[in-house]
Amino acid sequence: MNSLLKRQIDKKLKNGLDDIAPFINAVNDSYNNFEDQISMLQRAMKISSDELFLANQKLRDEAKGLKEINKNLQNVLNSMNLENNNIDNDDHLNSADYVKQQSDEIIRINKQREELLKNLEKQNQALNQYAHVVSHDLKAPLRSIDTLINWFKEDNAAILDDNNNKSLDLVLSNVEKMDLLIKGILDYSAIDKLEVKDRTIDLNILIHKIIRTITIPNHIEIILKNKMPKIVGNDITLKQLFQNLIQNAIKYNDKEMGFVEIGSKENDNEIEFYIKDNGIGIKERYQDKIFNLFSKLENTDQSSGIGLSIVKKIIDIYQGKIWLESQETIGTTFYFTIPKQ
């Protein structure tokens, strides 16, 4: 619990309101439990990220080994001229044995790779389930703190001075910030659990729905550069993808006349989209970390640091790519691709 708040409450109420002790203890316990579980969740996220990094590194190493084996196998095959009558039988048998040996090695590595991918998938599912359960459970103490603080303010309005109210409002602000963080974690962990069948989505309709439902300041103009294509997917993840990027562009626009431009172009096997703004831009040192969980450009209560992580996860589900170009004070453009189906 906020130490300043606790001291002020104790000082103000030490004479005559002994029944407030359970309230203070309840708020304090809620804070402590919440902080413990948030720390545990963040540790779990970090452990999973480390495991995924090592697993991906192992996959890359095995891929290099497989490439080398394939190269050796190709050299053997190229050197084998089966139509040449000058090849004696012993050389032919030795080459055939080597080819069989290399083929068996390829099969073994492929089995190892498949097993590793299965284990990775299980770990990811377990982590998402853990994050969902823990985050859901964390909402209970937050609701308790919010309710108790508001009751306390109403019941003791006559004796609380400005400093007391400021401290209580600080607690409520932190509760709201934590609630936003938990909602982000729940959204992130829920993406893999969606059981929605893919269908053809008209992105023109989808984006216009987003524009009608989100808050757009008067100084921001939304520009659709071209007619958007229809793609195969589900409207929940696609809405979340475009909405997160559009809202992010709006949030970090400091210009008197700001804009968010949305466009697309078709390539051979994929559709490339972009969302461009003339906002504050992203410092170069942050650009490699912007899609990481809990990564924020600034310390603000209105951001959970999860929105762009959700965007990256959705792009991964669609087996696409995402990248950005940005200059400080000039603006940012997010590019992403979705393969054609």
Per DSSP bridges, beta strands 322-327 and 331-339 are antiparallel
Give how far Cα 323 sits from Cα of 1, 83, 146, 244, Å.
Answer: 41, 52, 39, 15
Helical segments of 191-251, H only:
203-213, 235-251
Other beta carbons within 10 angstroms of residue 227's beta carbon come to 9
Contact 280, 254 (CB under 8 A): yes
Q: What is the pLDDT of residue 241?
A: 94
Q: Along the 341 residues of the chain, how does pLDDT read in single tens digits?
A: 445 555 555 555 554 445 455 555 555 555 555 555 555 555 555 545 555 555 556 555 655 655 565 565 555 555 544 444 444 555 544 555 655 666 666 677 667 666 766 666 665 665 555 555 555 556 666 677 777 778 878 888 888 788 888 877 877 777 776 766 666 666 666 676 655 578 999 999 999 999 999 999 999 999 999 999 999 998 888 999 999 999 999 999 999 999 999 999 999 899 999 999 999 999 888 888 888 766 665 545 455 567 888 899 899 889 999 999 999 999 999 999 999 87
Per-residue pLDDT at 256: 92
